[in-house]
Structure 1
């Protein structure tokens, strides 16, 4: 039985302290499974937050990080389509992707079109699917105003593009002026830069933009005080959806919702994928791939590439403030 490299953690803590490169045995794929040789995986905040122990009840140890990526099918198990051999797929909802080989369910693997390169394909899951499902859940359509924080993030840019595609009005909140022009070009209606000394409180800025009405809905990626402040900018009866915890500080959403007179919801991608049938899963990717093929949706560029064994430096780089573009872990051999 062959062995291969994998990044693993046996306890929670700072990624630089707890992540280890180990050798792991590989098994042959079982019935309905594929074995995929990984070629690229981006480093996302959602990969690093669980390592620090933010969700201990959902992260059994030891664990291998990595929720998304792309690879080549090297072996198929019984009752799996042999036509996938040698094809590129997104090996999702199986093992962590920060390893050389991944075992995945054949029916959940998403085939990758030839026209899409590995680096774009590797980013097709966490942010695009989350943003797409949120727009469907909130029924965002022309005339509806959505407020998002972390506007300069990868998912913030996707929301801006979806605003242009679907016609809703997006107000993006950022912490640096460098994001303003790009977000407006992508599709945001307004950008509020909270680092600008001339910017009033976020609530006052949003009320000014919405002529005193407030946003219809909001999406919080940060949590903590930022999430609570975002909620204060929503009109009574509106909705806020929490999709992330970049600050690492939870929000008492029940209390916030009661104080603001709004509906507060939590969106966990893991819960969504556990409840949808396979055809909805595949149809969601088909819609996103169509938007990419039509050049309506573009994913972030790559800042730097690191081999899997260089994960330590890659993680440090991924958390460097002000970085532009994605840090990606690759396998060249």
Structure 2
């Protein structure tokens, strides 16, 4: 039986280098499960490797896609047949942009019946990053002030909701008013639209001149470096992305501001976290969803696997890069 998958043989624009091919479906090996995919969102982190941002650690050809949900249809030796028919997140194995994905059964995350596919498909990249950032790296406490830029994004919405769950105060930074009301409703204490409101004096006014306890940068460039000057001495700027493509000379900025600079890459967390802690983290997020303390946007477009070029064009034309399934 042949199965379709998306691949790329060279780095470049996803619309030009991505190809849809077919290959013979292989049975899972010992300790593995085979998952028939049902939904796969598109995130900026899915497209950056295609462009070649991480070319130093990616072997070509490669299959893109980091998260999604599907149903177990086969198991390898030493894996219980009770897995068959269960919905799971098949993570940290092969790229997800395939009809069928194989992954380690220990790392497959079971999906409860109450959770819709579109929610489950988005449970990995943004929620885990946001949770680890707030609870482990920054260790935010009730009353702490956190600055987050690019907050109109999917992960920005999650930080707003986690501010309610964990009790910290979120100052959300955006470039327009499209998401102001939504972010405030989700839990943000303040929203600053930098197209209309100056960032530095506004943050200082809202923090009584003290600045924030910490800041999270997804953009880089001047947008990222500006955050460091709004954080208290000894505070932390955590960088989780580089949407501008412009790196920051963080060592220099750190000396000027006496602010710690840290980076969070999910792959590094994956390498050091135990299997039990990995599963427990997902279960905690699932419990927040069940209690309606955490929610994700519904995808506003759907594509088949063979329409990957249309899907990518849609994703790249959207200012907030919304999740989609295809």
TM-score if structure 1 supplies the norm length?
0.95
User: For residue 39 of structure 2, what is the aligned residue in structure 1?
Assistant: 40
**1:204 Cα offset (Å):** 2.0
Aligned residue pairs total 325
Within the alignment, does 1:306 sit opposite 2:303 as a pair?
A: yes
Deviations 1:32-90 (A, max 9, x none): 00111111000000101111111112222111110000011010001112111011100
Q: CA RMSD in A?
A: 1.2
Within the alignment, does 1:240 sit opposite 2:240 as a pair?
A: no
| Alpha-carbon distance change, 296 to 6 in structure 1, aligned in 2, over 3 angstroms | same
Structure 1 unaligned residues grouped into runs of 5+? none
Deviations 1:146-191 (A, max 9, x none): 0000110000000000001111000000011011111001000010
Mapping of 1:99-248 within 5 angstroms? Answer: 99-136=98-135, 137-196=137-196, 199-200=197-198, 202-248=199-245
| Alpha-carbon distance change, 325 to 13 in structure 1, aligned in 2, over 3 angstroms | closer
In the aligned structure 1, how far is the partner of 2:25 from the partner of 2:225? 46
TM-score if structure 2 supplies the norm length?
0.97
In the aligned structure 2, how far is the partner of 1:232 from the partner of 1:323? 26
- SS of residue in 2 equivalent to 1:319: helix
8 Å contact 1:317–1:327 — kept in the other structure?
no
8 Å contact 2:13–2:50 — kept in the other structure?
yes
**1:323 Cα offset (Å):** 5.6
**1:252 Cα offset (Å):** 2.2
In the aligned structure 2, how far is the partner of 1:171 from the partner of 1:74? 45
8 Å contact 1:13–1:52 — kept in the other structure?
yes
**1:325 Cα offset (Å):** 4.3
- SS of residue in 1 equivalent to 2:119: helix
User: For residue 56 of structure 1, what is the aligned residue in structure 2?
Assistant: 55
